[in-house]
Amino acid sequence: MIVLGLSGALTHDPSAALFVDGKLVAAAEEERFIREKHAKSKIPYNSAKFCLDHGSISPEEIDCVAFPFAPIGLLRPDRWHFAKKYWYAPDRALSAIFNGNRHFRRNRNKVFQLMDKLGINKEKTPFAPVEHHLAHASSAYHLSGFKEKTAILGIDGKGEYATTFFGYGENGAIHKIKEFFDPDSLGGVYGALTQYLGFEMLDGEFKVMGMAPYGNPNKFDFSRLIRCDGKSIEVDTDMVNTIGLRRYKQDGIGYYFGKKMVEWLGPKREGDEIDDPYVHYAAGMQKLLEDISLQLIETYLGGILRETGKICFAGGVALNVKLNQRIIDLPYVKELFVQPAASDAGTAIGAASYVANEAGDRIEKLEHVYLGPSYTTDECINACKDRPEKPAWEIIGNAPETAANILAEGNPLAWFQGRMEFGPRALGNRSILGDPSREGIAELINTQIKYRERWRPFCPSILDSAASDILQTNHPAPYMTFTFSVAEHWKGRIPEVVHKDGTARAQVVSRNTNPKYYALIEELERLRGVPVVLNTSLNRRGEPMVCSPTDALNMFYGSDLQYLIMEDLLIRKQG
């Protein structure tokens, strides 16, 4: 069966994914093609076209188009819960009751328009809507490779109405245990605090998480924002997840936190520095997220976890690596699988995998996320020839060896190889690299290349042969979705990738999935004695990760980078 999955149901992070007979053969995010981060309110045309072209699939061959947003019946509790909690905004409450599927109809019409644009006959090709949180659940469970009964966790801002999902997977089927509904949303509260702390919702949550270790999590009690009795959650909509007249407004912009929160905590944060008291607010919010999540996991998934120890996690909050570390540390958890594109971009995978599984396909385990476009060395040369700067370039015989020598000399390096990664993490194909044993390399990359806050941490890519010694665990970690405590005897050797709290958000690299990247790190170990490379995404602040050679050259000439390796091509800046 051939299933095309599309995402973008909630007006952000549109993407496309292609399954052929249960195998994920291509996936890409629209932002990478149109160079607009999160591609808000866009349809995934370019990403869908790439998937079909890569799979050599004609529009007539597609058996189904899957989409992660479904109609919700009037008799279900979702719409009534929303209406009850938003009684103070009668227009929203009444709309949920009497016109509760208006967003679904709007989405369906957009998908039909996209199908027309792609040449897919909507009269002959079925359109399959999948509930948003079932799509998240499928993207994690069906691609985890777990055969045992598996606990499934989904936490994000919201889907149709659901915000949080607890369930389990068994013999390929997904079963719901419990859902919470808007406005009672852990992800929504974290997003509202993200805005209050001066970052952009859907993008700055990573910054809040990175800021948190600099603060005291016990200095401020944030439990008034979202109450939890171990079985349910209830958000204070005077404070957060607010709509209508309760919202705080500044310069004509309405935020997802209320005026009362500003009265309580003080003015909304501005600027790039990690300052008091906001750094403690970040720490308090991170602690609240972790504590409530663990309580609810115990209540709804504890029995399953004690039985098999396997859990998978998706939804935007699944990218909170500090929470994931706490989950792994639970005594009854043997293995946690986090879908690496856990945010809404990954629901294209989830919707398609859910439909394919329901049709009888056996979904193959996700082995890597190198699922996007690739480019030849000749295409890289042509991109150089088109540049007005007339780059100085040369063909190199051993790209990993050349790269390692550049890094060993203390230089950052842009590294562009193979198929682009799917999801928010650069995993060695669209990366900026550095030698983590070189003091100051992290600040240099932050300030002169990425142009972002100087306190932002960086991640290590670690050879699998050394990972257990450095991270003190054998837990799988191929996707930078977890933090681990770094062993004391390694902290001083790789200081540029160890965060303030002694942890690192690590990628464990295997030769099987990325032999060229593995060879680079091996060579750096030979030269510098560390089987680790500092790795961050190849982009500047506010931009998507690069996709094409032209994008890479734009990044190169728009920063202080001096070296770029694209496939077998080395580009140096003149002088």
- Tell me the pLDDT tens digit for each residue of 251-296: 999 999 999 999 999 999 998 888 899 999 999 999 999 999 999 9
Residue 243, in any domain of the structure: no
pLDDT at 274: 82
The answer as to whether 7 is a domain residue is: no
Q: Kindly state the average pLDDT of the residues 152-181.
A: 98
Percent of the chain with pLDDT over 90: 97
Type and span of the H or E element at 415: strand 413-416
The whole-number pLDDT of residue 472 equals 97
Spatial separation of the C-alpha atoms in residues 341 and 423, rounded to whole Å = 4
In this prediction, residue 116 has a pLDDT band, given cuts at 50, 70 and 90, of very high
* Host domain of residue 559: 377-572
Q: What is the mean pLDDT of the segment spanning 126-146?
A: 98
Q: Rounded distance, CA 342 to CA 314, Å? A: 5
> Is 98 part of a structural domain of the chain?
no
In a domain, 180, yes or no: no
Answer whether residue 453 shows pLDDT above 90.
no
Q: What is the pLDDT of residue 255?
A: 96
CA distances in angstroms from 50 to 54, 230, 466, listed in the order given: 6, 45, 37
pLDDT digits (tens, 9 = 90+) for 456-488: 899 999 999 999 999 999 999 999 999 999 999
* Max intra-chain CA distance, the chain: 70
**Structure confidence at residue 273 (pLDDT):** 82
Other C-beta atoms within 10 Å of 332: how many?
16
Task: For residue 182, give every residue at least 6 positions away whose Cβ sits within 8 Å of its Cβ, in sequence order, or none.
Answer: 81, 82, 85, 158, 161, 162, 163, 188, 241
Positive or negative: CA dihedral 472, 478, 484, 489: positive
Three-state secondary structure call for residue 513:
coil
**Which has more pLDDT, 315 or 451?**
315
**Cα 103–Cα 130–Cα 33 angle in degrees, nearest 5:** 75
Mean pLDDT for 213-235 is 96
Residue 217 belongs to some domain of the structure: no
Which residue shows structure tokens 């942890």? Answer: 503
The total of other beta-carbon atoms located within 10 Å of residue 529's CB is 9
Output the pLDDT for position 381: 97
Task: Please report the sign of the dihedral spanned by the C-alpha atoms of residue 412, residue 418, residue 419, residue 423.
Answer: negative
Q: Is residue 560 part of a domain?
A: yes
Q: Is 575's pLDDT higher than 80?
A: no
Distance CA 343, CA 493 (A): 33
- Do residues 413 and 503 touch, judged by C-beta distance below 8 A? no
Across 27-40, average pLDDT: 98
Long-range contact set of residues 512-515: C-beta below 8 Å, sequence gap at least 24: 513/367, 513/368, 513/370, 513/478, 514/368, 514/370, 514/418, 514/427, 514/428, 514/429
Distance CA 406, CA 422 (A): 27
What residues contact 487, with CB distance under 8 A and at least 6 apart?
A: 469, 470, 471, 472
Does some domain include residue 385? yes
Taking the CA atoms of 56, 60, 63 and 64 in sequence, report the sign of the dihedral they define. positive
- 500-540 residue pLDDT tens: 999 999 999 999 999 999 999 999 999 999 999 999 999 99
What pLDDT digit, counting tens, does each position of 356-383 carry? 999 999 999 999 999 999 999 999 999 9
Q: pTM of the entire structure?
A: 0.97
Per-residue pLDDT at 152 exceeds 80 = yes
Domain count of the chain?
A: 1
Mean pLDDT of the chain: 97
User: For position 480, which CATH number holds?
Assistant: 3.90.870.20
Position 529 in a domain: yes
Measured in degrees and rounded to the nearest 5, phi and psi for residue 563 equal -135, 135
Separate counts of helices (H) and strands (E) for the chain: 19, 24
Q: Would you say residue 493 has pLDDT above 80?
A: yes
